[in-house]
Amino acid sequence: MFLIDRNNISSVSKVIAELDLKRDSYDDPHFFPPRSVDQELQLGYFVAMVAIDHRTGTPLGAFEGYVNGEFFHGADLLYRLGMLIFKDDPEFFSADRLSRLTYDDSRRLLEFDGRIIWDYHVRTFLLRDIGEKTLEFYGSFRELLDVRNVLELIERLKLFRAYEDPVAKKSYLLAKFLDGRELVRFLDKENFEVAVDNHLSRLAIRLGIIRFLDYTYIEKQIEVPRDFDVELRLAIRKAWKLVSKLSNVDPFTLDDFLWSFGRRVCRQNKPKCGDCPFRDVCLARSLNKYWFEHRYILTWYY
């Protein structure tokens, strides 16, 4: 069905090793709270926002627009709206408030310019579930996140519906933020992984570090079943981990780069191959077949 191509992994790794990648600090005030505010509220913000950080756009339209004269798209707009609420009402992200979240409450976060995100009922449910279970099982976000290794964090987060993805996209994204902000100090950095979403999947397919025996599902954009999606993203995660090891770039730094690169350069439509450092090793470019990622839309996993 599909396989990991170690030859292409080697070629891609050599390019990445030469890019001098730097880790983000996750301090941009457009998207993240100041480090000076109460730690419980910082933790609540990250747990809650990552919980609803999945597909924002659908074939029906993009989630984007201007906020105070600045344009934001997709996840950037979601976090920008989150920070507007955090600035005015940081207790919104407390476990107690989340546990009592109403649809009217969530519209403050998920509605923009008269439009509301496509699955706001689902995201409201996920946020309420976070608040209820945090209070019931841990009492606070500090206690929930009182861990020393990332595998323990992944296991704890499985309690929540938002973090039940077998590939743990949201869990590793949260771990990346917590580690980068020094809110949690993980001792098992060898267990870090990239957070596999549609961008990292598309890059893996186009670069050929994942190869298909039959590209029909990809080329015809046929909706794949859940098991196929999970198996494929697990393989993609493994492939990027090999790239991380060969390039000597840690998975969280690699994830920062790949996510941004997939949005800015190797986009679904009209990829900017002239700006791409991988153009000489890219399978898609060599075949002139700029595949999209596999199609699996109705999910809150990523």
Decide: helix, strand or coil at residue 73.
strand
- 204 and 265 housed in the same domain: yes
Q: Which residue has the tokens 């929540």?
A: 160
Residue 130 within a domain? yes
Number of Cβ within 10 Å of residue 115's Cβ equals 12
Residue 164: its pLDDT value, please? 98
- 198 and 223 housed in the same domain: yes
Q: Are 238 and 216 in contact (CB under 8 A)?
A: no
- 132 and 210 housed in the same domain: no
- 16 and 98 housed in the same domain: no
**Domain carrying residue 279:** 2-23+191-287
Block means of pLDDT (10 residues each) for the chain, 302 residues, are 97 98 98 98 99 92 94 98 98 99 96 92 99 99 99 99 99 99 98 99 99 96 97 99 99 99 97 97 98 96 98
DSSP state of 100: T
- 18 and 57 housed in the same domain: no
Q: Are strands 210-212 and 2-4 parallel, antiparallel or unpaired?
A: antiparallel
Global pTM reads: 0.97
Report the domain count for the chain.
2
- 140 and 206 housed in the same domain: no
Nearest in space to 42 (alpha carbons), one of 174, 171, 193: 174
Residue 59: its pLDDT value, please? 79
At 228, the amino acid letter reads: F
- 8 and 44 housed in the same domain: no
Structural Rg of the chain based on CA atoms: 19
Residue 115: its pLDDT value, please? 87
Distance CA 265, CA 205 (A): 15
At 214, the amino acid letter reads: D
- 134 and 207 housed in the same domain: no
Q: Are 288 and 217 in contact (CB under 8 A)?
A: no
Residue 235 within a domain? yes
Q: What is the CATH number of the domain that holds 215?
A: 1.10.1670.10
Distance CA 87, CA 193 (A): 31
Residue 28 within a domain? no
Q: Are 290 and 268 in contact (CB under 8 A)?
A: no
- 142 and 210 housed in the same domain: no
- 134 and 206 housed in the same domain: no
Residue 243 within a domain? yes
Distance CA 258, CA 235 (A): 16
